[in-house]
Structure 1
Amino acid sequence: MAVPRERLDIGALEIHADSSGHEGILTPAALGFLAQLHRRFDATRQQLLQARRQRQAGYDAGGLPDFRADTAAIRTSDWQVAAIPAALQDRRVEITGPVERKMIINALNSGAKVFMADFEDSSSPTFANQLDGQINLRDAVAGTLEFQSAEGKSYRVGDNPAVLVVRPRGWHLNDKHFSVDGEPMSGALVDFGLFVFHNARALHGRQRGPYFYLPKLEAMEEASLWDEVMAAAEDDLQLPVGTMKATVLIETLPAAFQMDEILHALRGRVVGLNCGRWDYIFSYLKTLRGHRDRLLPERAQVGMTAPFLKAYSELLIQTCHRRGAFAMGGMAAQIPIKGDPAANEAAMAKVRADKLREVQAGHDGTWVAHPALVAVAQEIFDQYMPTPNQLSMLRQDVSVSREQLLAAPSGTISRAGFDNNVEVCLRYTAAWLDGLGCVPIHHLMEDAATAEIARAQLWQWLHHGGLEFSDHAPIDFALFDQALAAHTHLLRDSEHPGAARADAAAALLSALTHADTLSDFLTLPAYDQLA
């Protein structure tokens, strides 16, 4: 039931949740700020989402993404992005995680250069999670963030914390808890608006931003909308133009063909692009869902050395460095394996090899998901990148074609790979429905991207028909239904996160997998079941 609020200048903004305990964040002035953002920018957002749907219809009809003819001049002309702030000059290791209080403290104290506080893929966007996250970040910016565990252990931020960067939700997600004039607000504008309203002036005063990671963009026009939103917020909050800085995740296949254009659209405030590789693989699957000749082998066989992913990452490095922007590497999702030194060392060896590949290719920094991996990644980057960044490595040897970005690698589908997709997607979805968006599964810290890859692969393998496992047995819905039932039973009787939501997650995964059309995002239908 919506809690009555003082209207003041907020007009027809309504909150459809019990907001008690969040009054310090949901002030009348803050809500008025959100209402202004919605009224100024939501119509454009809706137009851009419609453009996405039209492009996807073209891909489903047999078309393929390509470099844009109408923006060739942007790609061929010489220009640079604005100067990068001192606080972001060295980003060799960045840690990411949800906006949970203890995790924020541990991440800020981890020794990483940057902490990306995530309202998006590693957060289940319940009303409490998102608003508690805003309180936690407000306290972190104010220097008052503390946490005491049930066991009595105290946590607080140390003297040299990581630089804070915030990732709001993507343009495609609504927030059902906020509406303006009867229309749901953009989750992106809620996350961004509340954070900057309460923290932008303080961060600017310390020359710490505010800084953002922008997810799920598909076109330069979507980047332009973010530029307009930030410019309007700067004006409203009386901050200098260009105060707010952004790093864009290139994690959709269409965006890979518009890297120059996205940088250009944000050239007054962008500081880099990031290889959001797990979401990129999902986007490849989703964008090309109707193309049987573009199917990918099982997840374990699709690594960054695959030609289409190597081309994408090298094109990103070349594009960024040509424009004076950073090229950030991807996520190491491994977490320490306690009680098995040999298995733990094997996992750490994979991290070292991945980070060595990134730094030698020219990346200016990388991501880790667990504080224990910060030192592992930093050792590699310190050894091979003694300078704060590698902007001077222009990678003029790189030449990437359309077909290289679209070429599916060869490989197989094993029974184990199929079964793992069912298990991981089920377990993650159940945890997400239970309010947890960052889930340890098989010694990896998984977020929504892994579940999306697993779900999209299952849909493609089953709906294209006639596919076989590596042992030549047919892949069919009977096997999927059997595997889903088995894993649902195991999860229901386990102590894994989300065990109580096993049946709801199974019903959702079954419906999405049997549906005639691949759903754009797992989190859209799942969101209807969240508090």
Structure 2
Amino acid sequence: MKNNAIIIRDNLQEEYQDIYTVEAIDALNALAHFNKSVKDLMTERIKRRNDRQKNKTRITFYDPESMIPGTDIKVQDARDGKFEGSAIPHDLQRQWIQGTGPASKPNASLESSIRNAAYALLSGADGWMFDGEDALGQIASMSLDNQRNLKLAISKDPVFLKVAEQVAGEMNRWSEGFLGYPMVKDWKTQLDFTTKIFRCRGLHLDDRHIRDAEGVAMAASIADLCLYVVNNYRQLQISGSSIVLYLPKIQTATEAALWNKMLTALEAHLGLETGTIKVYLLVEQLEATYQLMEIRAVLGKHFVGYNTGRWDYINSVSDAMAWDKTFINPNIESVTMTYGYMRNYEDRVRRAVNTPDINGNCAIWQGGMEPNIPVGSPDGVSASMKKAFAGAEREQREGASGKWVAHWKMVNIVRPVWEKSGEANQVGRKFPALTYTQQDADGLILLEPAPITIRGARNLLSVAIQYGNAFAQGMQAAALKAADDFGNDDILYLMEDMATGEIRLSIVWEWVHKGARFTDSDVETGVNAGDVFSFDLLKRLIEEEYSKLLKADNKDVYDASKTTTLPIAREIAEIYVFNEFKIPWFIDLLNINLNNSDLNVAKKRISNYIETFQNEGKRITENPDFVL
């Protein structure tokens, strides 16, 4: 259906009248003109990437005397804090634990799907980032189900309240057995404890249901921004809550400045004061780490803090250094937040948040993700929870004001780390000022000796293929582990999302295309320490790991997927790791095959993507099933 500046596919506007409201449609129409700006910036992004690959150049810091491109802000002024930022609102002052996850489930009734929102808001987390991006499935109209469930939960609709009461009882039965006490004492009161936060999809993604008047796929970021804010801002304000977003995958201050323009335009459209909408920025891209203060400056009154995620960031470093034959990551397990370039990245973020603006306002550093889930053998759970607790203690010592967890069961396990400190946050804690030297630049791509092993390769391939399979079934967040660990309850499942699947394939691509040498011998394959990772070996490992997945129990790999989505997941993984040039986004190959279980169709779509990108430098990001 056409609405002035936008077109909504099929009959979704009628099916989701509660989401595509008149007010929401008006906002989408008002912001639709930004679609061209988004697409232009994404074209520039790919050109920068291709130029780096072609010319074998590294990312560098801006000239301090230059202007931030697309703005009237001088780079040095941004670095010196000569800009107006934001005071941290009351309900973001204490964010010891933020949970993450979507508010909906695939192929589920409303009552079943909305349970996700109930678990989140009864978890005891200080904030919950309801995901519209990496952890939210996009099959069918799931993104709209996510918006519907959030609207019902935020407005405390009777449907949601009925489910929440049931979920509270289930959560207490678990916590009484595991923690020794009921975690939900008064479920109605508990629903008001957690700050609601929404993560929009990044600028690089297109919405599957909306196109602009020219028939061009609408940037998913515009769709998510309008639908979430318009449908919920009044209720959030009535309840005394801030309107808070997480912005992902931003690479440059210029991209952040476009976000700022869209936020400001939506506020003006709704009659809200500039800066009403608050945003955290996920520092997930290497390029952004070179421009942290510049990004803070251009987001201005909207900006409240940064989050240091692990997985996306590792992938961005791998991607930025794809041209450098000497840059080879080790086993993924070795690239922790204390490893080489990750340690330096985290250090720059904590310095950036505690540089005051012209009004003396500092920002929040929210620590990274804890992917463990306390489900497994007693010994396995105990060991993993100790590891999770130690990781949280490290981040707290380093200056983080809180961290993320990937499951509601982890909230009360990790939250005591910050409770013991007794401080709401660590905003303004003193750290050395940011510097912009060659040594700083080198530190952001610093490799350190660590294992590269056959076991590491098997784990990378097994989980990546499983993730592609889960994605195709609408589970963009899935509890997974390598096939060799199936049946071993001492090895816990980890919550994997889009970013974890992507970095696994990125590292395999590095190993085989850059000639990584194994640090250890392996009896099963006959590989010796010092041997080069070959294409023949990669073929063998994929075949063996795929065979294990075909033989796995339904618990680990759904039987129904073994002849439908699993073969497509393997095809995508193989194309990614064998392709001569590094494909810019793993999610692109997955997205063009959503709602498709025909391997031959998948092969044609993937081939078309590869040819288009290679010949035209253009990604295919629109929904192939959208018929105008």
TM-score, length basis structure 1: 0.93
Aligned to 1:465: 515
Name the CA shift for 1:245/1:95 in 2 (closer, same or farther; >3 Å): same
Q: Does the 8 A contact of 2:147 with 2:228 survive in 1?
A: yes
TM-score, length basis structure 2: 0.79
Once the two structures are overlaid, the 10-residue window that deviates more, 460-469 or 122-131, is 460-469
Deviations 1:212-263 (A, max 9, x none): 0000000111111111111111111122221100000011000001110111
Larger Rg: 2
Aligned to 2:100: 96
Aligned-partner residue type, residue 580 of structure 2: D
Aligned to 1:64: 58
Q: How does 1:290-301 map to 2 (within 5 A)?
A: 290-301=323-334
State the shift of 1:423 in Å: 0.3
Across the two proteins, how many residue pairs are aligned to each other? 520
Q: Secondary structure at the match of 2:188?
A: coil
**1:407 & 1:121 partners in 2: Cα distance?**
27
Q: Secondary structure at the match of 1:293?
A: coil
Please say if 1:366 is aligned against 2:366. Answer: no
**1:148 & 1:424 partners in 2: Cα distance?**
37
Deviations 1:90-142 (A, max 9, x none): 01111001121222211111111000000111112224210100100000110
Alignment partner of 2:498 out of 426, 445, 448: 448
**1:407 & 1:504 partners in 2: Cα distance?**
35
Aligned to 1:114: 127
Q: Does the 8 A contact of 1:247 with 1:273 survive in 2?
A: yes
Alignment partner of 2:367 out of 323, 329, 335: 329
Please say if 1:261 is aligned against 2:294. Answer: yes
Please say if 1:505 is aligned against 2:559. Answer: no
State the shift of 1:492 in Å: 3.3
Name the CA shift for 1:357/1:141 in 2 (closer, same or farther; >3 Å): same
Q: Secondary structure at the match of 2:32?
A: helix
Q: Secondary structure at the match of 1:224?
A: helix
**1:77 & 1:14 partners in 2: Cα distance?**
43
What residue ranges of structure 1 are gaps of 5+ in the alignment? none
Deviations 1:446-490 (A, max 9, x none): 111111110101111111236335222331222222222233333
Q: How does 1:318-467 map to 2 (within 5 A)?
A: 318-323=351-356, 324-338=362-376, 340-383=377-420, 385-396=421-432, 401-442=440-481, 443-465=493-515, 467=517
Aligned to 2:45: 52
**2:433 & 2:7 partners in 1: Cα distance?**
53
Aligned to 1:527: 591
Once the two structures are overlaid, the 10-residue window that deviates more, 433-442 or 11-20, is 11-20
State the shift of 1:373 in Å: 1.5
Aligned to 1:177: 209
Aligned to 1:232: 265
**1:467 & 1:370 partners in 2: Cα distance?**
37
Aligned-partner residue type, residue 349 of structure 1: K
Aligned to 2:340: 307
Deviations 1:189-210 (A, max 9, x none): 1111111121112212333221
Name the CA shift for 1:29/1:381 in 2 (closer, same or farther; >3 Å): closer
Q: Does the 8 A contact of 1:329 with 1:365 survive in 2?
A: yes
Q: Secondary structure at the match of 1:166?
A: strand
Aligned to 2:223: 190
**1:367 & 1:98 partners in 2: Cα distance?**
14
**1:506 & 1:379 partners in 2: Cα distance?**
41
Please say if 1:146 is aligned against 2:185. Answer: no
Aligned to 1:203: 236
Q: Secondary structure at the match of 1:294?
A: coil
Aligned to 1:518: 582
Aligned-partner residue type, residue 483 of structure 1: L
Name the CA shift for 1:466/1:440 in 2 (closer, same or farther; >3 Å): closer
Aligned-partner residue type, residue 30 of structure 1: A
Q: Does the 8 A contact of 1:294 with 1:407 survive in 2?
A: no
Name the CA shift for 1:15/1:84 in 2 (closer, same or farther; >3 Å): same
**2:311 & 2:469 partners in 1: Cα distance?**
20
State the shift of 1:51 in Å: 1.9
**2:6 & 2:282 partners in 1: Cα distance?**
34
**1:378 & 1:12 partners in 2: Cα distance?**
44
**2:231 & 2:558 partners in 1: Cα distance?**
33
Name the CA shift for 1:29/1:390 in 2 (closer, same or farther; >3 Å): closer
Deviations 1:411-470 (A, max 9, x none): 221100000000010000100011111110131111111111101011111112363352
Q: Does the 8 A contact of 1:109 with 1:160 survive in 2?
A: yes
**2:188 & 2:339 partners in 1: Cα distance?**
41
Name the CA shift for 1:341/1:154 in 2 (closer, same or farther; >3 Å): closer
Deviations 1:149-186 (A, max 9, x none): 8xx95569632331000001100001232111211001
Q: Secondary structure at the match of 2:86?
A: coil
**1:78 & 1:180 partners in 2: Cα distance?**
38
Aligned to 2:196: 164
**1:17 & 1:425 partners in 2: Cα distance?**
35
Please say if 1:283 is aligned against 2:283. Answer: no
Please say if 1:273 is aligned against 2:331. Answer: no
Percent identity between matched residues is: 26
**2:282 & 2:310 partners in 1: Cα distance?**
9
Once the two structures are overlaid, the 10-residue window that deviates more, 488-497 or 297-306, is 488-497
State the shift of 1:334 in Å: 0.2
**1:44 & 1:155 partners in 2: Cα distance?**
45
State the shift of 1:276 in Å: 1.6
Aligned to 2:88: 84
**1:397 & 1:410 partners in 2: Cα distance?**
29
Alignment partner of 1:26 out of 20, 37, 54: 20
Q: Secondary structure at the match of 2:227?
A: helix
Once the two structures are overlaid, the 10-residue window that deviates more, 113-122 or 70-79, is 70-79
Name the CA shift for 1:297/1:394 in 2 (closer, same or farther; >3 Å): same
Please say if 1:73 is aligned against 2:111. Answer: no
Aligned to 2:29: 35
Name the CA shift for 1:480/1:18 in 2 (closer, same or farther; >3 Å): farther
Q: Secondary structure at the match of 1:159?
A: helix
Name the CA shift for 1:19/1:516 in 2 (closer, same or farther; >3 Å): farther
**1:230 & 1:363 partners in 2: Cα distance?**
27
Deviations 1:263-322 (A, max 9, x none): 111121111011022111111111111112221111011111113211111211111011
State the shift of 1:146 in Å: 2.2
Aligned-partner residue type, residue 27 of structure 2: F
Please say if 1:136 is aligned against 2:149. Answer: yes
State the shift of 1:24 in Å: 1.8
Once the two structures are overlaid, the 10-residue window that deviates more, 417-426 or 119-128, is 119-128
State the shift of 1:369 in Å: 0.8
Q: How does 1:210-225 map to 2 (within 5 A)?
A: 210-225=243-258
Aligned-partner residue type, residue 208 of structure 2: K
Q: Secondary structure at the match of 1:268?
A: helix
Q: Does the 8 A contact of 1:169 with 1:191 survive in 2?
A: yes
Aligned-partner residue type, residue 325 of structure 1: A
**1:20 & 1:336 partners in 2: Cα distance?**
42
**2:466 & 2:516 partners in 1: Cα distance?**
28
Name the CA shift for 1:239/1:398 in 2 (closer, same or farther; >3 Å): closer
Aligned to 2:177: none
**1:313 & 1:350 partners in 2: Cα distance?**
19
Q: Secondary structure at the match of 2:573?
A: helix
Q: Secondary structure at the match of 1:265?
A: helix
Aligned-partner residue type, residue 33 of structure 1: A
